[in-house]
């Protein structure tokens, strides 16, 4: 049967994630994968999880398995409020930050509205904005306002250790973006899933702290607890948070209740801080292993970013290289990466690739990068 006639008009804009499609074909346990941005299972708080589950059951019993309020369980909202200095009415729990992105798009965008993005940008966000039939418009040089930007509703940026760039916006860039947003009157979505994972240097103030009246910040437990819990939160002006709250009633009624109590236990007991310190050590070592291997094996003409945190380094090859065309050969030879063009709304960046250092076992960086380098020219 042909089901086309039953689908909504919006469905025509839905495209599957090219990375998820690409990885369907690949058994990453059999190759060196610098591709997926999964957190390392070595950083999950497996030890102590049984005690945390017991503590949740002892404290809350059946309540932990019941529907909860749409904003989130008050115990966790209170912890996040005191940890961030945000008033509780500025906070909304989400079913992780991907939902935060999608729900912002749903609340703010009409078809044809523009979203400004810093390219390359996070694929999952570009996918969501396209689903809402938005125009995705890259910033001009240095976060300047592009010509023919159209009706800009918001800018979407990942200021700390971006996915895929690994770059961090300087304070001056953040201030310039805020000035531009005030001058041209648009909102800013600040996606911050990696902010807590800084391995060197000083934290830079969040955009939300520079312009609380027009910034929504998206945060996630995925990289500081475990992504399987699908738990995140957002902070923003209460009027916007209220619209998100109403929208979420239709989306999923309430964020996962048991997971929120677990997260509250994880935070409140001090386990989050201890686990975060160990995770940062783990990822910093992996980052150094990747950067050292790149320095050792990459031929001249290849450059890469040196991230101060997060999961990714972004490689630029000479202009005539095509990382998408190389991909199948790379897989056959036993190495995976993500072609950089996936992260450009206009399909640019064909000579770039994203390498993730979060997941590969520490002993595998050197042979993986040596193999990758041998395929390049
Ligand atoms: C920049 C960025 N935003 C959002 C997400 C979604 O993460 P989650 O929904 O697990 O919080 C990711 C995941 O990798 C990401 O890199």
Question: Is any ligand 1 atom within 6 A of the Cβ of residue 160?
Answer: no
Q: How far is CA 48 from the centre of its chain?
A: 27
Do residues 205 and 165 both lie within one domain?
yes
Ligand 1 pocket, residue 19 CB under 6 Å: no
Asked if residue 52 belongs to a domain, the reply is: no
Q: How far is the CA of 119 from the centre of ligand 1 (A)?
A: 16
Q: Are residues 263 and 372 in the same domain?
A: no
Among 216, 250, 269, residue at a domain's last position? 269
Instruction: Please report the pLDDT score of residue 366 as a whole number.
Output: 97
What is the residue range of 203's domain? 65-269
* Cα–ligand 1 centroid distance for 123 (angstroms): 9
CA distance 331 to 345: 25
Per-residue pLDDT of the chain in tens (377 residues, 90 and over written 9): 999 899 988 887 777 777 767 777 677 778 999 998 899 999 999 999 999 999 999 999 999 999 999 999 999 999 999 999 999 999 999 999 999 999 999 999 999 999 999 999 999 999 999 999 999 999 999 999 999 999 999 999 999 999 999 999 999 999 999 999 999 999 999 999 999 999 999 999 999 999 999 999 999 999 999 999 999 999 999 999 999 999 999 999 999 999 999 999 999 999 999 999 999 999 999 999 999 999 999 999 999 999 999 999 999 999 999 999 999 999 999 999 999 999 999 879 999 999 999 999 999 999 999 999 999 87
pTM of the model: 0.96
Residue 290 domain-assigned?
Answer: yes
- The reported pLDDT for the residue numbered 365 is 97
Q: Is the CB of 38 under 6 A from ligand 1?
A: no
Question: Would residue 241 count as lying in a domain?
Answer: yes
Regarding whether 206 and 170 lie in a shared domain, the answer is: yes
Residue 211 CA, ligand 1 centroid: distance in Å: 23
* Nearest-CA residue for atom 5 of ligand 1: 98
54 located within any domain: no
Q: Note whether 295 and 326 are same-domain residues.
A: yes
Q: What is the pLDDT of residue 11?
A: 83
Ligand 1 lined by 122 (C-beta under 6 Å): yes
Q: Do residues 133 and 205 both lie within one domain?
A: yes
Quick one: CA dihedral 108, 113, 114, 120, positive or negative?
positive
Are residue 175 and residue 250 in the same domain, yes or no? yes
286 and 262 share a domain?
Answer: no
pLDDT in tens, 240-266: 999 999 999 999 999 999 999 999 999
237 and 91, same domain (yes or no)? yes
Is 167 in the same domain as 256? Answer: yes
Which ligand 1 atom minimizes the distance to the CA of 158? 1
**Closest residue (by CA) to atom 10 of ligand 1?**
222
The conformation of residue 144, written as its DSSP 8-state character, comes to B
Last residue of a domain, one of 269, 284, 308: 269
Domain identity same for 263 and 211: yes
Tell how far the Cα of 73 is from the centroid of ligand 1, in angstroms: 22
Residue 285, domain member (yes or no):
yes
The DSSP result for 26-47, as a single string, is --GGGSEE----PPPGGGS--T
Token pair 């972004």 in the structure block, residue: 314
Q: Please report whether residue 365 resides in a domain.
A: yes
Ligand 1 centroid from CA 299, angstroms? 32
56: exposed, middle or buried (Cβ count in 10 Å: 0-12, 13-18, 19+): buried
Ligand 1, atom 6: nearest CA belongs to which residue?
A: 98
CATH code of the domain covering residue 113: 3.40.640.10
Residue 335's domain is classified under what CATH number?
Answer: 3.90.1150.10
The count of domains in the chain is 2
> Which atom of ligand 1 is found nearest the CA of 230?
10
98 Cα to the center of ligand 1, angstroms: 6
60, part of any domain? no
By CB atoms closer than 10 A (0-12, 13-18, 19+), residue 50 is exposed
- The answer to the question of residue 106 being in a domain is yes
Specify the pLDDT at position 39.
96
Burial readout 350-375 (b: 16 or more C-beta within 10 A, e: otherwise): bbbbbbbbbbbeeeebeebbebbbee
First to last CA, the chain: 48
Q: Do residues 283 and 261 both lie within one domain?
A: no
Please tell me the distance from the alpha carbon of residue 370 to that of residue 212, in angstroms, as a whole number. 46
Q: Cα 271–277–281 angle (5° rounding)?
A: 145
């Amino acid at each position: 049967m042909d089901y086309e006639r039953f689908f909504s008009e919006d469905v025509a804009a839905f495209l599957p994630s090219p990375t998820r499609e690409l990885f369907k074909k690949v058994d990453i346990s059999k190759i060196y994968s610098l591709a997926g941005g999964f957190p390392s299972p070595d950083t999950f708080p497996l030890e102590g999880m049984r005690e945390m589950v017991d503590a949740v059951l002892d404290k809350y019993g059946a309540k932990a398995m019941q529907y909860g309020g749409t904003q989130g369980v008050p115990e966790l909202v209170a912890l996040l409020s005191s940890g961030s200095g945000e008033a509780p009415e500025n906070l909304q729990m989400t079913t992780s930050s991907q939902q935060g992105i999608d729900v912002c798009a749903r609340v703010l965008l009409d078809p044809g509205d523009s979203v400004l993005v810093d390219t390359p940008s996070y694929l999952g966000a570009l996918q969501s904005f396209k689903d809402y039939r938005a125009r995705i418009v890259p910033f001009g040089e240095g976060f300047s306002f592009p010509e023919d930007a159209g009706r800009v509703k918001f800018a979407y940026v990942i200021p700390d250790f971006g996915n895929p760039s690994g770059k961090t916006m300087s304070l001056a860039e953040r201030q310039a973006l805020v000035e531009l947003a005030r001058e041209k009157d648009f909102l800013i979505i600040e996606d911050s899933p990696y902010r807590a994972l800084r391995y060197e240097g000083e934290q830079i103030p969040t955009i939300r702290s520079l312009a609380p009246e027009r910034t929504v910040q998206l945060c996630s437990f995925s990289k500081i607890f475990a992504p399987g819990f699908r738990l995140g939160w957002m902070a923003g002006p209460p009027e916007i948070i209220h619209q998100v709250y109403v929208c979420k009633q239709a989306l999923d009624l309430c964020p996962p209740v048991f997971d929120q109590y677990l997260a509250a236990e994880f935070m409140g007991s001090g386990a989050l801080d201890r686990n975060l310190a160990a995770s940062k050590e783990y990822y910093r070592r992996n980052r150094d292993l990747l950067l050292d291997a790149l320095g050792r094996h990459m031929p001249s003409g290849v450059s890469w970013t040196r991230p101060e945190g997060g999961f990714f380094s972004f490689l630029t090859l000479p202009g005539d290289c095509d990382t998408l065309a190389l991909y199948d050969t790379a897989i056959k030879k036993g190495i995976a990466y993500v072609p950089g063009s996936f992260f450009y709304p206009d399909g640019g960046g064909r000579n770039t690739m994203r390498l993730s250092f979060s997941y590969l076992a520490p002993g595998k960086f050197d042979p993986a990068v040596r193999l990758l380098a041998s395929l390049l020219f």
